[in-house]
C-alpha cells in the first residue's frame, strides 16, 4: 500500500512538473530566472514589499542546476508558508526542519556535506511530515520536492 502511494505521489509530482512546463511554453513565459540588476538611480524593492511577499525578501538566485524551475507563487500554499518561515529564520513546526540534507539521490548540484538543509512542507490530511520538502543551499538556492526527493524543481523567488 505504501509503495503504491509513493508511486502515486511521484506520478503527481511528474504531472505537476509537466503542467508547469506546458503553461510556461504556451504562455510564452520563461522557466528560468533572469538576473536583474537595478538601473542606476533606481531603488530596490521597499521593505513593505518584502513583508507582503516574504519570498521577495531573499535575493534572486540564478538556477545553478539543470532542474526545471517553478515560480514561488506557483507552489502550494503550504510551501509558500514554509518559504516565509525560512526567510524569518523560524520557528519551525518540526524538529527535523533545518537539518542537513545529504543529497544522496544526487539530483541537486554536487556539494560538500552540510551544504544543504531541509524543511518540511506540511501536507494537508497527513498525520506525519508527509513527502513534501524545501531544500536550501548555502548559496541561497532553494528546491521543492513534492515526492520525498524523487524529483526536484528550482524555486524562482519573487515571482
- Domain borders along the chain are 2-30+52-156
Q: Which position among 78, 126, 148, 157 bears the catalytic label?
A: 148
pLDDT tens-digit map of 20-32: 554 555 454 444 4
CATH class of 2-30+52-156: alpha beta
pLDDT at residue number 79: 96
118 counts as catalytic: yes
Is the predicted pLDDT of residue 17 greater than 90, yes or no? no
pTM as predicted:
0.62
Q: Which position among 78, 118, 126, 157 bears the catalytic label?
A: 118
CA distance 123 to 29: 28
Task: Quickly list DSSP for 76-112.
Answer: -HHHHHHHHHHHHT---SSTTTTEEE--TT--SPP--
Amino acid at each position: 500500500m505504501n509503495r503504491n502511494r509513493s508511486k502515486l505521489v511521484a506520478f503527481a509530482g511528474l504531472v505537476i512538473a509537466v503542467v508547469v512546463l506546458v503553461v510556461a511554453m504556451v504562455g510564452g513565459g520563461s522557466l528560468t530566472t533572469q538576473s536583474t540588476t537595478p538601473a542606476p538611480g533606481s531603488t530596490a524593492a521597499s521593505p513593505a514589499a518584502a513583508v507582503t511577499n516574504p519570498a521577495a525578501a531573499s535575493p534572486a538566485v540564478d538556477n545553478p542546476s539543470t532542474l526545471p524551475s517553478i515560480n514561488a507563487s506557483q507552489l502550494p500554499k503550504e510551501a509558500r508558508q514554509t518559504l516565509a518561515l525560512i526567510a524569518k529564520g523560524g520557528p519551525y513546526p518540526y524538529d527535523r526542519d533545518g537539518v542537513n540534507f545529504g543529497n544522496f539521490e544526487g539530483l541537486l548540484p554536487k556539494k560538500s556535506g552540510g551544504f544543504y538543509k531541509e524543511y518540511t512542507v506540511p501536507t494537508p490530511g497527513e498525520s506525519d511530515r508527509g513527502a513534501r520538502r524545501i531544500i536550501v543551499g548555502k548559496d541561497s538556492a532553494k528546491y521543492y520536492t513534492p515526492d520525498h526527493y524523487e524529483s526536484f524543481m528550482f524555486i524562482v523567488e519573487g515571482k
